[in-house]
Structure 1
Amino acid sequence: MNTTRQGAAVDARGIGVEGPRGWAFRGIDISAEPGALIAVQGSSGSGRTCLLLALTGRMRITAGEATVAGLPLPKRIGTVRSRTAIAHVPGVVELEPALTVGEHLKEQALLGHRFQGLGASLPWGRRQKEATRARIDAALAVVGLDPASLVKGLRTAVRDLERIEALRLSVALGIMHEPQLLAVDDVDLKLSAAERAEAWQLLRDVTRTGTTVVAAGSEAPADAVLVRTTPAPATADTTAADTSAAPATETPATETPATKAPADAGSGADSGDDTPTDTDEKEAADAFAETGRA
């Protein structure tokens, strides 16, 4: 893994996402340098998940202005999406409990080759296999996940992982193809105080590779760029409950941990409006809205 890759600078002024039931979030300002750790602090329903999705090109902002890696949103939403990754976002990208750690890593590697146009070279030769093994090992090293420490090594099923181990795996899958920005949701959910500190240290370790990290949790470390989200006030046409769970006008296609395009994908489409054209985007948007998450 290239440890000198340039992360994404993030600049946002008054951004918001409004859907049919009101605002998911609005009035958010962010200024962060490449390789920064950005902590989004807020209660469940305050729009923090939607903010992560908006900053990674998986949800269209409807107010304000933002740039990620110098690319304006929402105009360059497709390119931003291809240069970013998301991890540990329930309802959007999740680990499959029945699959093993090794199966998740192999799937991510296979899809990475597909996005790079190498599918026609399968079955892989020795060189491709060695490169893939090196990429997996590098990602596991960054997140501090040693397969030898797991109950059954790489054959350990996700359902048998501790929560902090599952978080490490999710992050490893997210960084495998070197995104410029990684978004992680629910960092401290159901973790002890010691585990919360461990989780935030994990994300600091990722930023040391050059990757910018934006992560949501109920508590934020003092050394992070802090962004606070609060439930949007109800409007005349919506209740407070509806507003706090408001869907956006555009939400992402549901992803498995391995469906992110590599960080270099989309670099040939760096001009004009490159809004994603996934045929299942509307269906996934509706499904995500039904979860009531924000």
Structure 2
Amino acid sequence: MDGQAAAKAALNTAGVAVRAEGFGLEGPRGWAFRDLTIDAEPGSLIAIEGPSGTGRTCLLLALTGRMRPTEGTASVGRMRLPKQMAAVRRISALGHTPGVSELEPALTVAEHLRERALLQRRFGGSLRGLLRPRAERTAEARLRIERALQAAGLDPETLPKGTRTAVRDLERTEALRLSIALALIAEPRLLGIDDTDLKLSDDERTEIWELLASLAESGTTVVAVCSEAPANAVVISTAAATDTGANDDTTDGTTADSRRGNGDALAEARRA
């Protein structure tokens, strides 16, 4: 089964529309981004395109409810930003995002999957779900993991030591697929990934974009940060929406608006 067929077979997610007008975020060193317009339908593949240092990660975090914007209006589905940031966080999930959602090199694939399934069961489900018999909860967690791995196109049997393979021993595309699978365990309606095409060959880049396109076609709205967007994506360019005084949000978090009490942007995003 190819990646596109796997994603369609494994997921049945209703994505959300993402819209914004005059959207901006200012920090003490200038604007991370500003005056952006976004109009993407549910199930879109949205590419945040621009060079490092143009507020790409800030925009990703703002759209997923993990960083408070400074100006403009935005909506994710029926939820408004910034008033309903918590609600947006509940229906979104982050894959690879440096400083916010990262893989632990020393842990194995199995350990990452078990931990994420446990967190999802404890914090992502209902109280009634926690009261179900243990065997039932375990079976559901296993099914979530299997679906997420299938949708992300990651077959543990192909890894050097199967699920006992440590993250440090994964290839770049394998680690990226694992981070996507971990995010998909929550069955999000909006999936965000940072540095999508970083350190990938042309063939690997094509492979990952095909995966993300298949997830979008299955219903999930995907927002991916990149240096070069594919032709089939809704492209948001941050290069022309950033003042030279702003620095990239992947460095020290100084792009958050301290005047509005954001503090360290990445610390806030991690807490979210």
TM-score range (shorter-chain normalised) is 0.7 to 0.9
Which of structure 1's runs of 4+ aligned residues deviate more than 4 A? 118-122, 231-234, 281-284, 286-289
Is there any run of 5+ residues in structure 1 with no aligned partner, and where? 235-239, 251-280, 290-294
Please show how residues 1-294 of structure 1 align to structure 2 within 5 Å: 3-115=11-123, 116=125, 117=127, 121=131, 125-230=134-239, 234=243, 240=244, 242-245=245-248, 246-249=254-257, 285=265
- The Cα shift of 1:125 comes to 2.3
In 2, distance between residues paired with 1:162 and 1:231? 33
Residues 51 and 20 (structure 1 numbering): CA distance in 2 closer, same or farther, change over 3 Å? Answer: same
8 A contact 1:232–1:243 mirrored in 2: no
Q: Residue in 1 aligned with 2:5?
A: none
**Richer in helix (by share):** 2
Kept in 2: contact 1:11–1:67 (CA 8 A): yes
Deviation at 1:169, TM superposition (A): 0.3
Return the alpha-carbon distance in structure 1 between the equivalents of residues 94 and 103 of structure 2: 12
Q: Is the 8 A contact 1:16 1:62 kept in 2?
A: yes
Structure 2 contact 54–242 (Cα < 8 Å) conserved: no
- Alpha-carbon spacing, 1:118–1:160, altered in 2? closer, same or farther (3 Å): farther
In the alignment, structure 2 segments of 5+ residues that lack a partner are 1-8, 249-253
The answer (yes or no) to whether the contact 1:17–1:26 under 8 Å persists in 2 is yes
Alpha-carbon RMSD across the aligned residues, in angstroms, is 2.2
In structure 2, what residue type is equivalent to 1:159? R
Q: What amino acid sits opposite 2:70 in the alignment?
A: T
Identity of aligned residues (%): 54
Query: Could you tell me the TM-score, scaled by structure 2's length?
Result: 0.86
In 1, Cα distance between the equivalents of 2:266 and 2:229?
31
For 2:81 and 2:207, the matched residues in 1 are separated by 33
Distance in 2 (alpha carbons) for counterparts of 1:130 and 1:244: 45
Residues 57 and 159 (structure 1), Cα distance of their counterparts in 2 relative to 1, 3 Å cut: same
Q: CA deviation at 1:5?
A: 2.4
- What SS does the corresponding residue of 1:243 show, helix, strand or coil? coil
Report the secondary structure of 2:173's partner residue: helix
Contact 1:231 1:243 (8 Å CA) reproduced: no
Shift of 1:102: 0.5
Secondary structure of 1:24's partner? Answer: strand
Give me the whole-angstrom Cα distance separating, in 2, the residues matched to 1:186 and 1:118: 38
Q: CA deviation at 1:4?
A: 2.9
Preserved CA contact (<8 Å) 1:47 1:231:
no
**Residues 15-59 of structure 1: per-residue CA shift (max 9 Å, x gap):** 000112211111111111111100111000011100000000001
Number of aligned residues: 252
Cα distance change of structure 1 residues 286 and 84 upon mapping to structure 2, 3 Å threshold = closer
Partner of 2:251: none
